[in-house]
Amino acid sequence: MLVLLILHALAAVSAPALIRALGNRALYGLALVPASAAAWAVTQTGRTPTLSIPWVPQLGIGLDLRMGTLSWLLLLIVGGIGAIVLVYCASYFTPGAEGLGRFAAVFLSFAGAMTGLVLTDDLLLLYVFWELTTVFSYLLIGQSPEQAASRRAAMQALVVTTFGGLAMLVGFVMLGEHAGTYRWSQIAAGPLPGGGYLATAVVLILLGALSKSAVFPFSFWLPAAMAAPTPASAYLHAASMVKAGVFLLGLLGPVLSAAGPWRPVTVVAGLTTMLLGGWAAMRQHDLKLLLAYGTVSQLGLLTVAFGAAGRTAALAGATLLLSHALFKAALFLVVGVIDKVTGTRDLRRLSGLGRRLPAVAVAGCLAVASMAGVPPLLGFVGKEALFAAFAEDGTTGAVVLVTLVAGSGLTVAYGLRFLWGAFATKPGVDGTVPERAGFAFVTPALVLAAAGVAAGVAAGGLDSLLSPYADGFGEEGPGYHLALWHGPGLPVVLSVAVFVLGGLIYAGHRRREWPGQRFPAADGVYRRLMSGVDRAAVEVTGATQRGSLPFSLGSILIVLVVLGAVTLSLGAPWPSGVRLWDTPLQLVVGLVVVAAAVLAVNTRRRMTAMILVGVCGYGVALLFVLHGAPDLALTQFLVETVTIVMFVLVLRRLPARFSARPLRINRWTRNTLAVATGLVTSGMAYAAVMGRQAVPISVDFPDLSVSYGGGNNVVNVALVDIRAWDTMGEISVLVVAATGVASLIFRRSQALQQRRAEQGNVPTTGSGWLRAAEVPESLRQSIILQVVARLLFHTIVLFSIYLLFAGHNMPGGGFAGGLVAGLALTTRYLAGGRDELNAAAPVDAGLVLGTGLLISVGTGAAALIAGGEVLQSALIDVHLPLLGHLHFATSAAFDIGVYLIVVGMVLEILRSLGAELDRQADIPEMSDESDKVGEPV
Amino acid sequence: MTPNLVYVVIIGVLFAAGVSLVLERSLTRVLMGMILLGNGVNLLILLGGAAGTPPIVGLGPQDAMADPLPQIMILTAIVITLGMTAFLLALAYRSWALSGHDEVQDDDEDRRIMRLAERDEGSGIEDTEEPTR
């Protein structure tokens, strides 16, 4: 069974290439794939093969396949008709037609999904295949995406069936959660849930089944779906996909019909659909639409048969399912032929085709005869059985029978209308002259129609094949058997009544125009619903997404303040006491920070504000020192310095003062919100101390860092070892940020290339160590500063490397070291401009970043290869001559990567915010904002 | 454990100042607000762990050691703030280069939807409109 599914997938993938290579002939070969599914089904006749492969065992989902009798029947239909339609496609499509490869691929995917759907035993898997058929159907209906009607129809079918599918999924989950398994064969064997629960699940599942099978009130999508190419309609919307809903009814019926709502819902919806569809079919002028409404009507009939959930009705349902697939696919193929050879499907313009296309007419007549229930065709056998099923059912049965007779009468009438429209010679209409219809084009329809005759004659044999399914309804007694002739009785009388009624309706319809509206207003309801959803979305989005940053931030902050205040006032764990400070120095530093922060808010000059923010940062660094966090303090000092440099580099180009535009949120509101947030956060900080109730995870960190990480500095060892994943994410952010900065500043890709060239081409003096850029005397900023910077550069870089390696046991580490090296580069840049920077670091920043990331990731991966966990570090102790004992943890390599990334980021920032901004200011034509350079600070 | 009142006050002030700046339109000020908020958050995390000697094994008794866990988290946060600062600065510069100021503008798409909502119209997706037959 799995082979069948794989075969379909392979065929679908290779279909476009095959069609490109072989043209339409490839379709004959592809037809073998669904044909093989049908052939396999034939070899398995009378058996119930199963297959179970675990897929997501945690969720209990497996590839559980099981072919019962009904699945067997469906597989025959899906495979057999799929193959025949593919053969037909080879003649239907013009050779080299655009999109044929796509069509064939989607068609085969659909056939595969349908095969999976009928074979699966797992309800969740069934849902997956169910939705796959929906998606492929969407693609086939939207075969001509450039037509609005095609798009609309595809979307409508998708929305309606997906809605039903979701409802069905909920129903499945309810059943599955109750039973503890999603295998239907096990759910069916186990005890069912109780009344209301079961009823809800059943109604939800019925929503899915009925919407898929286009049963009222979901019928409207099917006629619209006729925008699909006719072969697709023949397969999807007559033979297979719309049968999925009916199939589900047939599959679940033996068990779930015990639920209260099952019979009333299915029978009423089915009968309504049958009458409405038949009525609407009578007024169609397009042959294909006539068939579509006919299909709706017949699906109603099938729903009644399976919904009734009795042994005889189920037997009738299975028979009708087969006969409908045969005759309706045949009829669609006939319409396709007519459309192709005459160029029209309008029955008012066709005339005299019966004589010109005799073979097509024979196929059409046989198919319609089966549809109308004329003996000895299969349709007759099925309909007789259905009448018999309701014949002994009291008053309800009588009502159902009357409706069935009326619906069948309509079926006879629109069948006649179809034949008349397609083949009759009409007075006053010029005879249509068709093109020649080839043998391979006509044969598929003939084969299908003939199969209807053969199956009807062999009704007795069919009975033994289908009875195992019907026996699942477990009724006692001798039971009904399919046969061509049961002798005189109510069913035969009803059949005669149907013919008479049908003839009368047809005769009456020829006299005057058929009354009635287009199709019941469900289509309009759907549209109103959709536009309502759309309107609601616009209103909600318009009300919540104001598009203003202060508004959005304000909303978030208000929530923070309100939630925080409420939680705090409703009994936060208030600490019992409070201490003023750990050391009085904290108060001194704190006063500075507070003053700087308040001033920073109120200043209107950019540079002043920046310096005040920097003071805050340095103050916080001092607090870190006082707290006993030297690594934090070191990093914070360095980061603050780099930040100030960056700000200066950018702010020299921006206006000195902030623009004084009127703000949407006025000053008073803003400050109130700010003070409120401050108060709430203070309260939270006050109460948060009590939040740490459990023993902190970090009590073991000191021991772990020595024994596993091989270092004494707990913070740094944790960064590169215990919490190395965290650091990995962090350095990735840095790489992304640096790349983002460069892409924002280098506005033209040629600027980026020029930068590369510049790096290699700086005219320099001196050897490798004390390299300096040759700068014209006039441009030199400060010769003393430049020389000092050059002299200090190596010392600083050396210090940074010391920090990098010392960090394992003392304050320092990759971050601090990288920042120090970055500051060394910054010094060179500030002293001598971009040429000096290029002389100091003649490498591309991206290269440094990439190398760093490679080293870090490589270290992590190496541990994996060596058999450890990702990022696990190993300790290496070696004795080297001269150097003595060398103690080395592999996590140091990770830290080297961090170091390089930080250096690369600073370099990228200097190149972008520094050098490139200089260049844009130097070259007026390159800088479109040269007239807006800010006033000097 | 008892809270340190100096920290509590500083955190409150840093948050208030940060929020006040973040609610501005000028991207430079928003960025400064973010930096102040970042400092406030870092202190808030720091407050969760005890102060003491630096968390380096061998410097002193382990009971007197400051809690290393908040420090580890803060170190990551500091460096990320640096990356974000660089990016926002580049953004501010780019905004200024393109439009002559560094103010955050209202989102055009959002304003379009607001206008649609005011006019009681749909979004104009074809499936929701009456077909023209």
- Report the distance separating Cα A628 and Cα A914, nearest Å: 36
| Per-residue model confidence (pLDDT) at position A770 | 53
Instruction: Encode pLDDT of A146-168 as tens digits.
Output: 777 788 888 888 888 898 899 99
Proportion of chain A above pLDDT 70, given as a percent: 90
Q: Of A613, A631, A659, which marks where a domain is finished? A: A659
Instruction: Encode pLDDT of B117-131 as tens digits.
Output: 777 777 766 554 444
Name chain A contacts of B118, Cβ cutoff 8 Å: 542
Residue B87 belongs to some domain of the structure: yes
The region of weakest confidence among A129-133, A351-355, A482-486 is A482-486
Residue B26 belongs to some domain of the structure: yes
Quick one: pLDDT band at residue B14, thresholds 50, 70, 90?
very high
| Per-residue model confidence (pLDDT) at position A919 | 79
What token pair was written down for A783?
A: 């010769």
Instruction: Encode pLDDT of A259-275 as tens digits.
Output: 778 888 888 899 988 88
- B8 at A interface, C-beta within 8 A: yes
CA angle A363, A367, A371 (to 5 degrees): 170
- B99 at A interface, C-beta within 8 A: no
Among A221, A289, A538, pick the best mutation site for testing chain B contact (most B Cβ within 10 A). A538
Return the CATH number at B116. Answer: 1.10.287
Separate counts of helices (H) and strands (E) for chain A = 36, 6
Residue A908 belongs to some domain of the structure: yes
Q: Of A476, A491, A523, which marks where a domain is finished? A: A523
| Per-residue model confidence (pLDDT) at position A183 | 84
Tell me if A306 sits within 8 A of A332, measured CB to CB: no
Residue of B101 and A757 predicted with greater confidence: B101
- A660 at B interface, C-beta within 8 A: no
Q: Of A659, A677, A693, which marks where a domain is finished? A: A659
**Adjacent-strand bridge partners of B103:** B26
- B45 at A interface, C-beta within 8 A: no
DSSP 8-class letter at A559: H
Instruction: Encode pLDDT of A609-656 as tens digits.
Output: 999 999 999 999 999 998 888 889 999 999 999 999 999 888 888 877
Cβ neighbours, 10 Å, residue B64: 12
Residue A816 belongs to some domain of the structure: yes
Quick one: pLDDT band at residue B11, thresholds 50, 70, 90?
very high
* Integer angstrom CA distances of residue A599 from A24, A742, B44, B81: 79, 32, 22, 22
- Report the distance separating Cα A506 and Cα A410, nearest Å: 8
- B88 at A interface, C-beta within 8 A: no
| Per-residue model confidence (pLDDT) at position A884 | 66
Residue of A225 and A645 predicted with greater confidence: A645
Q: What are phi and psi of A310, to 5 degrees?
A: -120, 170
Tell me: do A381 and A510 sit in the same domain: yes
Q: In 3-state terms, what secondary structure has residue A546?
A: coil
Residue A221 belongs to some domain of the structure: no
The region of weakest confidence among A467-471, A484-488, A595-599, B28-32 is A484-488
Name chain B contacts of A593, Cβ cutoff 8 Å: 10, 13-14
Quick one: pLDDT band at residue A933, thresholds 50, 70, 90?
very low
- Report the distance separating Cα A710 and Cα A808, nearest Å: 8
DSSP 8-class letter at A777: G
Q: In 3-state terms, what secondary structure has residue A367?
A: helix
What token pair was written down for B41?
A: 């958050």
Residue B17 belongs to some domain of the structure: yes
| Per-residue model confidence (pLDDT) at position B86 | 92
Q: Do B36 and A624 touch (CB under 8 A)?
A: no
A–B CB contacts, 8 A cutoff, strictly below: 361
Cβ neighbours, 10 Å, residue A511: 6
Mean pLDDT of A422-438: 77
Q: What are phi and psi of A712, to 5 degrees?
A: -95, -25
pLDDT over 50 at A869, yes or no: yes
Mean pLDDT of A725-749: 86
CA angle A788, A789, A792 (to 5 degrees): 85
Domain count, chain A: 3
Residue B133 belongs to some domain of the structure: no
Instruction: Encode pLDDT of A805-825 as tens digits.
Output: 888 888 888 899 999 999 999
Residue B131 belongs to some domain of the structure: no
Mean pLDDT of A909-931: 68
Residue A766 belongs to some domain of the structure: yes
Tell me: do A500 and A591 sit in the same domain: no
Q: How many residues in total does chain A contain?
A: 937
Residue A884 belongs to some domain of the structure: yes
Tell me: do A650 and A734 sit in the same domain: no
Residue A230 belongs to some domain of the structure: no
Q: Do A631 and B71 touch (CB under 8 A)?
A: yes
Residue of A61 and A909 predicted with greater confidence: A909
Instruction: Encode pLDDT of A698-724 as tens digits.
Output: 788 888 888 777 778 888 888 888 888
Q: Supply the range of the domain harboring residue A637.
A: 581-659
What token pair was written down for A375?
A: 């003996």
- A594 at B interface, C-beta within 8 A: yes
pLDDT over 80 at A420, yes or no: yes
Quick one: pLDDT band at residue A769, thresholds 50, 70, 90?
low
How high is the mean pLDDT of chain A? 82
pLDDT over 80 at A888, yes or no: no
| Per-residue model confidence (pLDDT) at position A476 | 55
- Report the distance separating Cα A89 and Cα A102, nearest Å: 13
Tell me: do A610 and A752 sit in the same domain: no
Q: In 3-state terms, what secondary structure has residue A255?
A: helix
- Report the distance separating Cα A679 and Cα B8, nearest Å: 10
Which residue bears the tokens 């949407």?
A: A664
Instruction: Encode pLDDT of A893-916 as tens digits.
Output: 888 999 999 999 999 999 888 888
Tell me: do A360 and A495 sit in the same domain: yes
Environment class of A800 (CB within 10 Å of its CB; exposed 0-12, middle 13-18, buried 19+): buried
Mean pLDDT of A84-93: 87
pLDDT over 90 at A12, yes or no: no
Q: Supply the range of the domain harboring residue B89.
A: 5-125
**What is the ipTM for the molecules in this complex?**
0.89
What token pair was written down for A169?
A: 């999924």
Question: CA of A904 to nearest chain B CA: how many angstroms apart?
Answer: 12
Q: Do B80 and A730 touch (CB under 8 A)?
A: yes
Instruction: Encode pLDDT of B56-113 as tens digits.
Output: 887 778 778 888 888 888 998 998 999 999 999 888 888 888 877 777 777 777 778 7
| Per-residue model confidence (pLDDT) at position A781 | 65
Q: Do A639 and B81 touch (CB under 8 A)?
A: yes
Domain count, chain B: 1
| Per-residue model confidence (pLDDT) at position A763 | 56
Residue of A923 and A794 predicted with greater confidence: A794
pLDDT over 50 at A934, yes or no: no
Tell me if A381 sits within 8 A of A250, measured CB to CB: no
What token pair was written down for A545?
A: 């997404």
Residue B100 belongs to some domain of the structure: yes
Residue A729 belongs to some domain of the structure: yes
Q: Do B5 and A578 touch (CB under 8 A)?
A: yes
Environment class of B31 (CB within 10 Å of its CB; exposed 0-12, middle 13-18, buried 19+): buried
- Report the distance separating Cα A762 and Cα A689, nearest Å: 57
Q: Do B117 and A670 touch (CB under 8 A)?
A: no
Residue A510 belongs to some domain of the structure: yes
- A738 at B interface, C-beta within 8 A: yes
Closest CB from B4, B18, B26 relative to A658: B26
The region of weakest confidence among A86-100, A231-245, A763-777, B28-42 is A763-777
Q: Do A609 and B32 touch (CB under 8 A)?
A: yes
Residue B59 belongs to some domain of the structure: yes
Residue B130 belongs to some domain of the structure: no
